[in-house]
């Protein structure tokens, strides 16, 4: 089983890596897209192997959840981002995915997995929803970055604006808002599951939980106040900074 | 088979001369038919006649007759590979005034469709049209706009994406504004208002786009109702200031200011959600995209070179293939005649002898066939074919 996980990790990480290199040049965008697709299939197989091997939810550890998070991020990107005009989004998302995927492996998150002390339903609801929401926020941040880049180029009249083709401002803003609108309810469900368990079994609020709640407020204010596109993009990036803090810096305090 | 070309283009002839030989499609087709197996390509930038296996002088004379003056000093005359390469470059948009312009490919196809030439020209034009498509698919040569109005529309697309349903206010009903409005309308935008000092001029342009004519004093009041503003008046002072911009919150407003002096205060471009491009900005964008087209043109030239190589090989094979066929037919004829001399034989013996002689024939002819095909790929094909005909007395047996 460990060998199978080993066998599936490498093609996935190599394909993601190939996508990063291919996305660097507009000529190889299609190769990049195929790298993402094949890598995601390999990682899906890896997760399937982990799921079939484990007694329960296999991604309850810090590294395991990172593995699942990468899969969700790439999967979300695959839904609508895998188009030539979104090449720069791929160039933003895929290096992050490769880095986190390698970190997941170093932390043991791509192996056979171990049994968690938590119930499966709770883990699926809590970890699954929170990670899916974080994946959505990651994509929204990528879109926000592209929006600010394109907005800046239009404002300063960059002569090469039509050569380095990006999606239009309106499309970027629309997708960013839609992604956040879908992700925030998922985060809400994940948080509710966590709070229910906290109430049943007791325990305090740790740093990661605090950061996640702050993230919820940032994105909730995004949807509630409907700021201008530029302010909204900054808000989405601020929320993503909290996601990174929660996922990377504070993860050890929670798992 | 020979391919010949005679023509004039923007490279060698001024517009005064080109316009005299510019022919509508039906007249170009009639001219081509009168010359035998020919295709006449006539656009505002070129009139060219491609002829197969004919002297191009007749075509040149016809063009001179149409022009009403001698063209020999300006017309170019190309043959075989050079003529084919020229056609390939034309259909790829590489010989155009603006590299990569896409209209020419449709014009090549129309010229070809209008006459449906014989097999030789048919093959050359099919190859040219396929190459034109390939160049547009595999390179970005035609993707960027090459004029100020087209760049303005492309920039609006960069802000809004799909322009269908986007409303445009045209301030100034001059020629440049009209062209920009036309580019935006071609991408699906709605020309909602045309404002001009003279109401009559505004009404005339508005009628063209099914819009509403308004006075210049009404412009600030309409800004809340539009997405794109095209300004090109001759006003000595700015007509639109930052204070005129209504609060739009999440709706961008794109200004194209082609006027000199400028119609839109530069401070407008600093407002959030407002994007302002003046004539210098637009020209810088066009200049950059043209530079990009030239880079892509290098890639396209490589595709033309590959296609030219294929054409050369194919044309050489036209000389060699009939010679090979004649040689084989000649050998087969001898074999059949010798077999006939054997008289009555048991079936099994006859089958054995037929099989053995056929094998001998194939083995004998295999190497010469291969060598001739190899020679056809180079420049020796015709000479080999002639030698074979001479050695085996194949004259008159071809094909």
The tokens for B395 are 């004259």
Q: Please, which residues have CB within 8 angstroms of residue B381's CB and are 6 or more apart in sequence?
A: B316, B317, B319, B320, B372, B375
Q: Give the model's pLDDT for residue B146.
A: 78
Write out residues in chain B with pLDDT < 70, as ranges.
249, 377-379, 395-399
Chain A positions touching B140 (Cβ under 8 A) are 26
Chain B interface test: which of A25, A26, A84, A163 (most B C-beta within 10 Å): A163
Query: Is the pLDDT score of A255 beyond 90?
Result: no
Distance from CA of B45 to the nearest CA of A (A): 27
> In degrees to the nearest 10, what's the CA dihedral of B116, B118, B121, B125?
30
Distance from CA of B35 to the nearest CA of A (A): 45
Selecting from B144, B161, B252 the residue whose C-beta is nearest the C-beta of A162 gives: B144
Q: Give the model's pLDDT for residue B399.
A: 40
Chain B positions touching A157 (Cβ under 8 A) are 277, 281, 284-285
The answer to which of A26-40, A167-181, B296-310 has the lowest mean pLDDT is A26-40
Taking an 8 Å cut-off on Cβ atoms, the answer to whether A163 and B161 are in contact is no
Selecting from B161, B275, B285 the residue whose C-beta is nearest the C-beta of A162 gives: B285
Q: Does the annotation count B274 as an active-site position? A: no
Chain B interface test: which of A80, A88, A164, A170 (most B C-beta within 10 Å): A170
Chain B positions touching A228 (Cβ under 8 A) are 249-250, 272-273
- For strand B76-79 and strand B167-171, is the pairing parallel, antiparallel, or unpaired? unpaired
Rounded to 5°, angle at Cα B269 from B268 and B270: 90
Distance from CA of A66 to the nearest CA of B (A): 35
* A156 at B interface, C-beta within 8 A: no
CB atoms under 10 Å from CB of B176, counted, come to 17
Active-site residue identified among B44, B260, B342, B345: B44
Taking an 8 Å cut-off on Cβ atoms, the answer to whether B285 and A230 are in contact is no
The burial of B365, by beta-carbon neighbours within 10 Å (0-12 exposed, 13-18 middle, 19 or more buried), is given as middle
B225 versus A4: which is more confidently predicted? Answer: B225
Distance from CA of A49 to the nearest CA of B (A): 40
Is the ipTM, as predicted for this complex, more than 0.90?
A: no
Contact B150, B176 (CB under 8 A): no
> Where are any strands of DSSP class E within A161-212?
none
Q: Give the model's pLDDT for residue A204.
A: 73
Q: Give the model's pLDDT for residue B397.
A: 45
Distance from CA of A124 to the nearest CA of B (A): 37
Selecting from A150, A168, A228 the residue whose C-beta is nearest the C-beta of B249 gives: A228
Q: Please, which residues have CB within 8 angstroms of residue B234's CB and are 6 or more apart in sequence?
A: B172, B174, B259
Taking an 8 Å cut-off on Cβ atoms, the answer to whether A162 and B158 are in contact is yes
Q: Give the model's pLDDT for residue A119.
A: 59
A4 versus A16: which is more confidently predicted? Answer: A16
* Chain A nearest-CA residue for B152: A162
- Number of H-type helices and E-type strands within chain B: 13, 10
Average per-residue pLDDT for chain A? 84
Q: Give the model's pLDDT for residue A253.
A: 60
* A85 at B interface, C-beta within 8 A: no
* A163 at B interface, C-beta within 8 A: yes
* A7 at B interface, C-beta within 8 A: no
Chain A positions touching B160 (Cβ under 8 A) are 168-170
Q: Which residue, B170, B245, B168, is CA-closest to B201?
A: B170
* Chain A nearest-CA residue for B156: A168
Taking an 8 Å cut-off on Cβ atoms, the answer to whether B287 and A154 are in contact is no
Distance from CA of B399 to the nearest CA of A (A): 47
Rounded to 5°, angle at Cα B190 from B185 and B191: 85
Contact B40, B108 (CB under 8 A): no
Q: Which residue, B225, B173, B231, B170, is CA-closest to B197?
A: B173
Residue B378 CA neighbour count, 13 Å, CB half: 8
The answer to which of A143-152, A212-221, B236-245, B375-384 has the lowest mean pLDDT is B375-384
Chain A positions touching B252 (Cβ under 8 A) are 169-170, 229
A97 versus A2: which is more confidently predicted? Answer: A97
* Chain A nearest-CA residue for B155: A162
Q: Give the model's pLDDT for residue B147.
A: 83
Q: Rounded to an integer, what distance in angstroms lies between the CA atom of residue B171 and that of residue B239?
A: 9
Q: Give the model's pLDDT for residue A65.
A: 80
* Chain B nearest-CA residue for A159: B285
Selecting from A163, A169, A171 the residue whose C-beta is nearest the C-beta of B292 gives: A163
CB atoms under 10 Å from CB of B271, counted, come to 14
Query: Is the pLDDT score of A215 beyond 90?
Result: yes
In Å, how far from its chain's centre is CA A132?
A: 7
Chain B interface test: which of A161, A172, A230 (most B C-beta within 10 Å): A161
Distance from CA of A207 to the nearest CA of B (A): 35
Taking an 8 Å cut-off on Cβ atoms, the answer to whether B154 and A162 are in contact is yes
pTM: 0.69
DSSP code per residue over B5-67:
EEEEETTTS-HHHHHHH---HHHHHHHHHHTSSEEEEE-SSEEEEEEESS-HHHHHHHHHHHH
For tokens 């760049």, name the residue: B151
Beta bridge partners of B278: B257
Taking an 8 Å cut-off on Cβ atoms, the answer to whether A168 and B273 are in contact is no
């Amino acid at each position: 089983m460990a060998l199978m996980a080993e066998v599936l990790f490498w093609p996935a990480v190599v394909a993601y890596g190939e996508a990063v290199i291919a996305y660097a040049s507009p000529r190889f965008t299609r190769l990049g897209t195929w790298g993402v697709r094949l890598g995601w299939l390999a990682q899906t197989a890896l997760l399937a192997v982990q799921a079939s091997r484990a007694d329960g939810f296999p991604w309850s550890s810090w590294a395991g959840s990172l593995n699942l998070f990468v899969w969700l991020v790439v999967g979300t990107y695959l839904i609508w981002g895998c188009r030539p005009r979104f090449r720069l989004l791929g160039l933003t998302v895929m290096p992050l995915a490769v880095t986190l995927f390698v970190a997941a492996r170093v932390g043991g998150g791509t192996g056979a997995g171990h049994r968690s002390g938590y119930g499966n339903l709770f883990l699926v609801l809590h970890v699954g929803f929170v990670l899916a929401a974080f994946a959505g926020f990651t994509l929204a941040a990528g879109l926000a970055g592209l929006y600010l880049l394109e907005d800046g180029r239009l404002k300063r009249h960059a002569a090469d604006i039509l050569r380095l083709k990006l999606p239009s401002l309106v499309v970027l803003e629309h997708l960013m808002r839609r992604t956040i609108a879908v992700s925030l309810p998922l985060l809400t469900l994940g948080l509710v599951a966590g709070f229910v368990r906290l109430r049943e079994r007791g325990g305090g609020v740790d740093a990661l939980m605090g950061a996640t709640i702050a993230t919820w407020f940032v994105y909730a204010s995004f949807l509630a106040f409907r700021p201008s596109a530029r302010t909204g993009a900054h808000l989405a990036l601020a929320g993503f900074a909290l996601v990174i803090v929660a996922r990377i810096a504070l993860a050890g305090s929670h798992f | 088979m020979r391919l010949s070309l005679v023509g004039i283009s923007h490279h060698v002839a001024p517009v005064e001369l080109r316009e005299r030989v510019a022919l509508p499609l039906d007249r170009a087709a009639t001219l081509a038919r009168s010359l035998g197996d020919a295709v006449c390509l006539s656009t505002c930038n070129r009139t060219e006649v491609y002829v197969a296996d004919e002297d191009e002088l007749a075509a040149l004379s016809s063009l001179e007759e149409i022009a009403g003056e001698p063209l020999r000093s300006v017309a170019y005359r190309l043959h075989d590979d050079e003529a084919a390469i020229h056609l390939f470059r034309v259909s790829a948009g590489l010989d155009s005034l603006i590299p990569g312009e896409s209209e020419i490919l449709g014009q090549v196809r129309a010229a070809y469709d209008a006459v449906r030439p014989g097999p030789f020209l048919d093959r050359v034009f099919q190859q040219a049209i396929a190459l034109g498509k390939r160049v547009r698919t595999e390179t970005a040569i035609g993707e960027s706009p090459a004029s100020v109005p087209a760049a303005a529309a492309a920039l609006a697309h960069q802000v809004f994406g799909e322009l269908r349903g986007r409303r445009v206010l045209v301030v100034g009903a001059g020629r440049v504004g009209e062209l920009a409005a036309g580019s935006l309308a071609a991408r699906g935008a709605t020309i909602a208002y045309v404002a001009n000092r003279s109401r009559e001029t505004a009404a005339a342009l508005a009628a063209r786009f099914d819009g509403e004519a308004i006075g210049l004093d009404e412009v600030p009041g309409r800004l809340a109702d539009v997405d794109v503003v095209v300004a090109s008046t001759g006003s000595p002072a700015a007509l639109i200031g930052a204070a005129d911009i209504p609060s739009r919150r999440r709706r961008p407003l794109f200004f194209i200011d082609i006027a000199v002096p400028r119609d839109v205060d530069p401070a407008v471009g600093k407002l959030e959600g407002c994007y302002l491009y003046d004539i210098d900005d637009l020209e810088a964008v066009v200049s950059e995209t043209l530079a990009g087209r030239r880079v892509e043109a290098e890639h396209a030239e490589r595709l033309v070179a590959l296609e030219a190589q294929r054409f050369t090989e194919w044309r050489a094979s036209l000389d060699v293939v009939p010679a090979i066929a004649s040689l084989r037919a000649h050998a087969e004829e001898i074999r059949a005649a010798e077999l006939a001399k054997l008289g009555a034989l048991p079936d099994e013996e006859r089958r054995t002898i037929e099989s053995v002689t056929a094998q001998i024939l194939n083995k004998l002819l295999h190497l010469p066939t291969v060598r001739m095909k190899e020679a056809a790929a180079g420049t020796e094909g015709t000479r080999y074919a002639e030698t074979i005909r001479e050695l085996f007395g194949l004259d008159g047996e071809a094909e």
